[in-house]
């Protein structure tokens, strides 16, 4: 009868409360997930409500919020008009810079926006062309659909039109890593690599380049001096689930915004 018992257990598990009373589901951008996980933990500790954060990517987050798979979607790029529908609204919860980052051993500390753009187009191929060692540049990029990549392409003019569609102009020979972390790992371990990551996740394992002589800092972004920045957006239904609403209220509160700032992002309130 073991199998019967097994089956009954399965049925029992399935009919267990389908949705937990206090659960908030959040999914989307891996960059936003970094700060969202910290926000969620703080919220859980105070409000005793379960928050699930999935770093699945901006496009997936936008889709999940629209079709209801998640209560809250996260995006690290501006949401295209055709991606929004009438039932959903967007809320900017923070701003974040994108840092072009190189290995600590790399003597290059400053590049112009045009140089970075050319490196990513595959037109500049050697560090010696931008004042570094005579070694080939290992270009590292994020995957298609990543909010960080989308914002980076938009700001750095790395888009072109093919067959009437806007597509990437980043060289296809660039290495592709999924997630901020993988880019960080590659750049931190390879002295000839260049990558771009969320400024909030830059730490002393790599160096954020100055762009056009402007250092990549929160202050310079807030002052509008450092141009490569994008909003962190959450997407919710117009009539959000009460649990989702109270979590968003927490994020926008002074406590929530302090956490945002502590984690290295720019508060919006």
Partner 1 sequence: MSKFTQSDSKSLLSRENQDKLLNGAIWAAAGITILFLLWVVWHILSNGLSHVSWEFITGAYTRIGEASGIWAMIVSTVYMVMLSLAFAAPIGIMTAIYLTEYAAPGSKLVQVIRFCTESLAGIPSIVYGLFGMTFFVSTLGLGFSILSGALTLAMLILPVIIRTTEEALMAVPMSYREGGYALGSSKIYTIWRLILPSALPGIVTSVILSTGRVIGESAPVFLTAGMVTQIPDSVMDSGRTLTVHLYKLTQELFTQHEWDQAYATATILIVLVLALNLATKVIANRLNKSS
Partner 2 sequence: MNTATRVQSQGLQLAPKKAMDIKEIFFHGLFLCCAMVGVLSVSTIGWFVFNEGLPAFKEAGVTEFVTGKEWLPPALYGIFPMIVASIISTAGAVMIGVPIAILTAVFLAEIAPKWLADLVRPAVELLAGIPSVVYGFFGLVIIVPAIETLFNIPAGNTLLAGIIVLAIMILPTVITISETSIRALPSVYKEGALALGASHVYSIFKVLIPAAKSGILTGVALGVARAIGETMAIIMVMGNAPAMPGSILEPARTLTANIAMEMAYATGIHSNALYATGIVLLAFIVLLNGSLLYLNRKRAY
> What are the residues binding partner 2 (CB under 8 A)?
56-60, 63, 135-138, 143-146, 162-165, 167-168, 171-178, 186, 189-190, 192-193
d(CA 264, CA 269): 15
Which chain residues interact with partner 1 by CB under 8 A?
3-4, 6-7, 9-10, 13-14, 16-20, 23, 25, 27, 37-38, 41-42, 50, 52-56, 67-70, 177-179, 181-182, 184-185, 188-189, 203, 205
Closer residue to partner 1 in complex, CB, 16/162: 16
Residue 80 DSSP label: P
Nearer to partner 1, 197 or 229 (CB): 197
End-to-end CA distance of the chain: 61
Q: Would you tell me the crossing angle of helices 254-262 and 30-47 to the nearest 10 degrees?
A: 130
Q: Look at phi and psi of residue 145 and say left if phi exceeds 0, alpha if psi is from -120 to 50, else beta.
A: left
Count, residues in the chain = 269
**C-alpha span between 201 and 35 (Å, rounded):** 9
Residue 174 or residue 266: which is nearer to partner 2 going by CB?
Answer: 174
User: What's the min distance (Å) between Cβ of 211 and partner 1?
Assistant: 23
Which partner in partner 2, partner 1, none is near 200 (CB below 5 to 8 A by kind)? none
Q: Which of 75, 115 has the CB closer to partner 1?
A: 75
Of 189 and 205, which CB lies nearer to partner 2 in the complex structure? 189
Residue 17 binding partner per list partner 2, partner 1, none, with a CB distance cut-off of 5 to 8 Å that depends on partner kind: partner 1
Nearest distance from C-beta of residue 45 to partner 1, angstroms: 8
Q: Which residues pair with 194 in a beta bridge?
A: 102, 139
Separation of alpha carbons 57 and 147, rounded Å: 7
188 binds, among partner 1, partner 2, none (CB under 5 to 8 A by kind): partner 1
135 binds, among partner 1, partner 2, none (CB under 5 to 8 A by kind): partner 2
CB atoms near residue 120 (< 10 Å): 26
230 binds, among partner 1, partner 2, none (CB under 5 to 8 A by kind): none
Q: Pick what 136 binds: partner 1, partner 2, none; C-beta below 5 to 8 Å, kind-dependent.
A: partner 2
- Cα gap 247→173, rounded to integer Å: 42
CA torsion 35-41-44-47 (nearest 10°) is -60
What is d(CA 85, CA 29) in angstroms, rounded to the nearest whole number?
19
Instruction: Report which DSSP code applies to 108.
Output: -
Residue pair 183/205 in contact by the 8 Å Cβ criterion: no
Q: Which does 258 bind (CB under 5 to 8 A by kind): partner 1, partner 2, none?
A: none
Q: How many CB atoms lie within 10 A of CB 202?
A: 19
Least Å distance, CB 250 to partner 2, is: 26
Q: Are strands 110-111 and 88-102 parallel, antiparallel or unpaired?
A: unpaired
Q: Kindly tell me which of 97 and 150 has the beta carbon lying closer to partner 2.
A: 150
- The nearest distance, CB 223 to partner 1, in angstroms, is 29
For partner 2, which is the closer residue by CB, 6 or 22? 6
């Amino acid at each position: 009868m073991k199998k019967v018992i097994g089956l009954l257990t399965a049925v029992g598990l399935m009919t267990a409360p389908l949705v937990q009373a206090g659960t908030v589901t959040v999914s989307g951008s891996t960059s936003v997930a970094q700060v969202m996980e910290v926000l969620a933990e703080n919220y859980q500790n105070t409000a005793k409500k379960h928050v699930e954060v999935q770093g699945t990517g901006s496009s997936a987050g936008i889709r999940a919020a629209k079709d209801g798979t998640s209560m809250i979607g996260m995006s690290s790029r501006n949401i295209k008009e055709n991606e929004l529908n009438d039932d959903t609204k967007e809320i900017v919860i923070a701003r974040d810079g994108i840092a072009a980052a190189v290995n600590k051993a790399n003597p290059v500390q400053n590049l112009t926006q045009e140089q970075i753009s050319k490196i990513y187009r595959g037109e500049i191929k050697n560090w010696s062309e931008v004042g570094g060692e005579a070694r080939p540049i290992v270009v590292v990029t994020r995957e298609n659909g990543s909010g960080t990549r989308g914002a980076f392409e938009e700001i750095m003019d790395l888009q072109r039109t093919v067959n009437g569609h806007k597509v990437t102009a980043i060289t296809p020979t660039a290495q592709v890593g999924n997630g901020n972390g993988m880019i960080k790992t590659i750049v931190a371990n390879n002295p000839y690599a260049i990558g771009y990551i969320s400024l909030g996740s830059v730490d002393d394992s790599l160096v954020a380049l100055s762009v056009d002589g402007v250092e990549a800092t929160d202050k310079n972004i807030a002052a509008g001096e450092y141009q490569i920045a994008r909003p962190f957006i959450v997407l919710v239904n117009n009539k959000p689930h009460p649990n989702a609403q109270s979590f968003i209220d927490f994020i926008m509160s002074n406590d929530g915004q302090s956490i945002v700032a502590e984690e290295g992002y720019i508060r919006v309130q």
